[in-house]
Amino acid sequence: TETINDPNVVGFESSDSGNDSDSEPEPPQKEKPELPPKAEPEKKEPQNDTKPKEIKEPQNDTKPKDPEPKPVKKKPEAKPAVYVDVIRDEEIQKARLKLPILAEEQQIMEVINENPVVIIAGETGSGKTTQVPQFLYEGGYALKKQIAVTEPRRVAAIAMSKRVGEEMNLNSREVSYLIRFEGNVTEDTKIKFMTDGVLLKEVQNDFLLSQYSVVILDEAHERSVYTDILIGLLSRIVPLRKKRGDPLKLIIMSATLRIEDFTMNQRLFKTPPPVLKVDSRQFPVTVHFNKRTDEDYLSESFNKTVKIHTKLPDGGILVFLTGQQEVNSLVKKLRAKFPLKAKPIKDDTEEEEEAGPKLRKQKKVYAPKVDLDDYKPDWSSDSEEETEERPVHNAAPLWVLPLYSMLPTHKQNEVFKPPPAGCRLCVVSTNVAETSLTIPNVKYVVDCGRSKVKLYDKVTGVSSYVVTWTSKASADQRAGRAGRTGPGHCYRLYSSAVFNDTFQMFSIPEIQQKPVDDLYLQMKCMSIDKVVNFPFPTAPDLLQLKTAERRLEVLGALTKGQVTALGRAIAKFPVLPRFGKMLALSHQQDLLPYTVCLVAALSVQEVLLERPINEGDDKGERLKWAGLRRQWAGSGNSLLLGDNMVLLRAVGAAEYANTQNKLEKFCFDNGLRHKALVEIRKLRLQLTNEIKANMPEAELVVDPQLAPPTDLQAKLLRQILLSGMGDQIAKKIGEEEAEDRVKFKYGYHANNMEEPVFLHSGSVLRKTLPEFVVYQEIYETNKIYMRGVTAIEPEWLPVYVPDLCNLSEPLSDPEPRYNRANGKVYCTVTGTFGSQGWSLPNVEIE
């Protein structure tokens, strides 16, 4: 059955698929490769019965030295059975040849051809993401089906599809990407980069993933929840596809050698898959620890960067901090210290948007072109607040760029471009630069040693962002970024004692750190009955699974472990189950356009900014925003809809601003995050299309600008929010209860928490202080706050959250009432809500 050496056979015949395929009704694989219907004629020759041109004789390939005209053909050393031509530019090919992974192409392809599951481990930058999909393409894997590559981060999915397309001289119709809100996939797509979440949704619609010949799960070491689940699912899909005679390859790629969770897990793969270790051309990196560990790592990182820039030879600097605010703050300080000769640009709106209101006043912009002769330290440009950072004389200009995931994409791309002539590049980044993106020419890494993680309380679901030490593995990844182009240095802003004694070996997989409700429901919908028995690489703990199950029951998506019809309707939407339920219910209430808008807004993080993006705090600006938000909230039921009313209005107004081409300015002026609003637009569109496809009877009419809801609609929206978030109710702390009235003025009891929670000063309900509220999220900073608050009426609780209510027997009502009109009997009963037993007013039930 060994057929891979036969040049007429498509290379993705798995050697162990045997002859099963002959008996299968499906088209057997042992066909001559066919030309994909829409292939571009100038790049690919048709493959007919005659020996196709793409299939090279090995001998031809052993003469790499032939002086060939541009563009150059590659592939000197590999001798694959099938070989689809790719014509690459000379420059690109030169750069590729420097990657050691290229020398291993033949071996990699052999192992892939012979094994259904393969693990490829290699340092970041070794060429896994950009090269392996190309190897597979050339090996014929994209002739009939697509090559899927998943990334945990959207940024990476987009950037990598672009890069691979460029390297292969293929356009985005063929090397495409798909992320939650957008994509450029076409019927000609051969290589499809996508986020892992998107592939998981695809499994739901087609469990066998039959459109793919290979699935590459990239960055598996990051242990994102979706990648983990996909590994579990694919461990079952691969044998199923083999049974069908239509084998699927699974390639798991990791930047670390911590792969025991995949190889040593008998439930996952009975025989451990082969592991290919890819060398990287990693130069030695000298690691320097600080003698002592300073809490103020922000100042430390500034000092270190200044030292490197003024004292050490050329080479880019990459600084790792924990979050966007820190990044912006350091960028600003460094730019002030090492100003480029200012050359005001006329159209400087973008720079302003990023810099925030403070920089807006000073009309100084860093021009991308710097004439070194012109360069003189510009003392006068020092602004008021930067007095202590005096520009230095003896350093070249520093080209300082921020990098974090919320940064608009075109700004993120700046870091890949070479700095202006004569400048040293300095990128200040969160941990997005740790593995998925490679910034060229970095020689110095400054590592604060911390990262910001969102922690959830497994039971209460309270989330908080905490800055914690990273793991040893992450610290080493960060250090490695300095050794890509030559020997480098890594400056760790902490002591070796802290590193040795306090750092964990590896970070905890995400699946053990966050609520798994949506996964649980999706798995149930895939008929995985016992989620507990699912072959997770690392299983979430039992309590997490139980909590998820319970919450889904409260939502009405599950009963007795079985998915309900409502549950299936919910799972169809690409949003959290609680939001899915809101959509499913609104259908009946004719409120769909509003709910779609709300759900889209609730699914995107940080829409309403709490303070100007830029470092520092502008109180005037905040007061202005607060006033505006109160105005948007209106009165009556609108006001009771609270922060969610503000969201609705913000989205509507943003749509209007967008028609005037003023979205960015509008967001800037009104304290809205521009990127969030752009995302909301896309999600609204996607949800709308989904609803049109899934529930044509809903006859959804879309008016992007959306008139404010009527009073009745606002009331119904409050109920709909309750139906989705009924487990997140809070009750005002009574005056008689609070010893300290001032302290607890905005205090509430949440139904599942001991500690009091508070209405944030940004909430429009601070003036109203309703008795009962539903909130979107609880988060902890200096206090525990509720986010996204809407007032509800307690008598709604038994209707929308019956599972959490304890009602007395109807018999307790001595005088039941008979309603002639509908023939039903109504009783008044008493009851309580939640585990704390809040008593409900008299409730009328059927």
Least distance (Å) from ligand CDP to the CB of residue 253? Answer: 7
Distance in Å, CB of 265 to ligand CDP, minimum: 24
Residue with tokens 């598996």: 220
Tokens of residue 503, six digits: 């750092």
CB of 125 to ligand CDP, least distance (A): 4
> To which H or E segment does residue 278 belong?
strand 275-278
**C-beta of 149 vs 778, nearer to ligand CDP:** 149
* Residue 721: Cβ within 10 Å count: 29
Integer Cα distance of 605 and 591 in angstroms: 23
Q: Which stretch binds Mg ion (CB under 5 A): 122-130, 180-188, 441-449, 734-742?
A: 122-130
With CB under 6 A as the contact rule, the residue among 93, 115, 124, 544 that binds ligand CDP is 124
- Residue 713 DSSP symbol: H
Cβ of 741: how many Cβ atoms within 10 Å?
10
d(CA 651, CA 667): 10
For ligand CDP, how many residues bind (rule: CB under 6 A)? 15
From the list 125-133, 419-427, 643-651, 721-729, the region that binds ligand CDP by CB under 6 A is 125-133
When CB distances are held under 5 to 8 angstroms depending on the partner's kind, the choice from ligand CDP, Mg ion, none that residue 130 binds is ligand CDP
Question: Measured between alpha carbons, how far is 308 from 490 in angstroms, rounded to an integer?
Answer: 11
AA identity, residue 215 = V
CB of 93 to ligand CDP, least distance (A): 13
The residue within the footprint of ligand CDP, chosen from 14, 21, 113, 129 (CB under 6 A), is: 129
Q: How far is the CB of 441 from ligand CDP (least distance, A)?
A: 9
Distance of CA 377 to the CA centre of its chain: 41
Does 127 engage in binding with ligand CDP (CB under 6 A)?
yes
Q: Which does 458 bind (CB under 5 to 8 A by kind): Mg ion, ligand CDP, none?
A: none
Cα(680)–Cα(541) distance, integer angstroms: 33
Closest residue (Cβ) to Mg ion? 129
- Tokens 């909230």 correspond to 633
438 scored as a contact of Mg ion (CB under 5 A): no
CB of 44 to ligand CDP, least distance (A): 24
The reply to whether 688 sits near ligand CDP by the rule CB under 6 A is no
161 binds ligand CDP (CB under 6 A): no
Distance separating alpha carbons of residues 666 and 632, to the nearest angstrom: 15
Question: How far is the C-alpha of 14 from the C-alpha of 33, rounded, in Å?
Answer: 15
Task: Identify the residue among 186, 416, 541, 699 touching ligand CDP (CB under 6 A).
Answer: 416
Alpha helices in 590-710 (DSSP H): 592-603, 619-633, 636-641, 643-659, 663-670, 674-694
Min. distance of Cβ 101 from ligand CDP in angstroms? Answer: 7
Give CA separation, 600 vs 25, 514, 636, 676, 687, in Å: 44, 21, 24, 10, 8
Asked if 438 interacts with ligand CDP (CB under 6 A), we say yes
Site string for ligand CDP, 89-108 (x = CB under 6 A): ----------x---------
Q: Which of 21, 129, 265, 322 binds Mg ion (CB under 5 A)?
A: 129
| Best CA proximity match to 593, nearest among 493, 474, 720, 483 | 720
User: From the CB of 487, what's the least distance to ligand CDP, in Å?
Assistant: 16
- To Mg ion, the closest distance from the beta carbon of 159 in angstroms equals 10
Residue closer to ligand CDP (CB basis): 192 or 332: 192
Candidates 123-131, 264-272, 313-321, 837-845 — which segment interacts with ligand CDP by CB under 6 A? 123-131
Nearer to ligand CDP, 130 or 322 (CB): 130
Whose CA is closest to 714, among 648, 762, 804? 648
Least distance to ligand CDP, CB of residue 418, Å: 11
Least separation in angstroms between residue 508's CB and ligand CDP is 22
Q: Should residue 509 be labelled a site residue for ligand CDP when binding is judged by CB under 6 A?
A: no
Mapped onto helix, strand or coil, the DSSP state of residue 285 is strand
- Residue keyed to tokens 């039992």: 542
Q: Which residue has the tokens 């499906």?
A: 26
Rounded-to-integer distance, Cα 831 and Cα 846, Å: 15
Smaller CB distance to Mg ion: residue 129 or 686? 129
Report how far residue 609's alpha carbon sits from residue 619's, in angstroms, rounded to the nearest whole number: 13
Least distance (Å) from ligand CDP to the CB of residue 472?
Answer: 19
Helix (H) or strand (E) holding 757: strand 756-759
The span from the CA of 291 to the CA of 269, in Å, is 46
Give the 3-state secondary structure of residue 192: strand
Q: How far is the CB of 34 from ligand CDP (least distance, A)?
A: 29
Residue 688 to residue 682: CA distance in whole angstroms: 10
Residue nearer to ligand CDP on the CB measure, 438 or 470: 438
Q: Is the peptide bond before 810 cis (omega within 30 degrees of 0)?
A: no
Tell me the site size for Mg ion, rule CB under 5 A: 1
674 binds, among Mg ion, ligand CDP, none (CB under 5 to 8 A by kind): none
Non-local (6+) Cβ contacts of 198 within 8 A are 150, 178, 179, 180
- Site stretch for ligand CDP (CB under 6 A), options 117-125, 266-274, 462-470, 662-670: 117-125
Of the residues 56, 74, 128, 551, which one makes contact with ligand CDP according to CB under 6 A: 128
658 binds, among Mg ion, ligand CDP, none (CB under 5 to 8 A by kind): none
Q: What angle separates helix 663-670 from helix 674-694, to the nearest 10 degrees?
A: 120
Binding residues for ligand CDP (CB under 6 A): 99, 122, 124-131, 163, 416, 438, 440, 484
Binding residues for Mg ion (CB under 5 A): 129
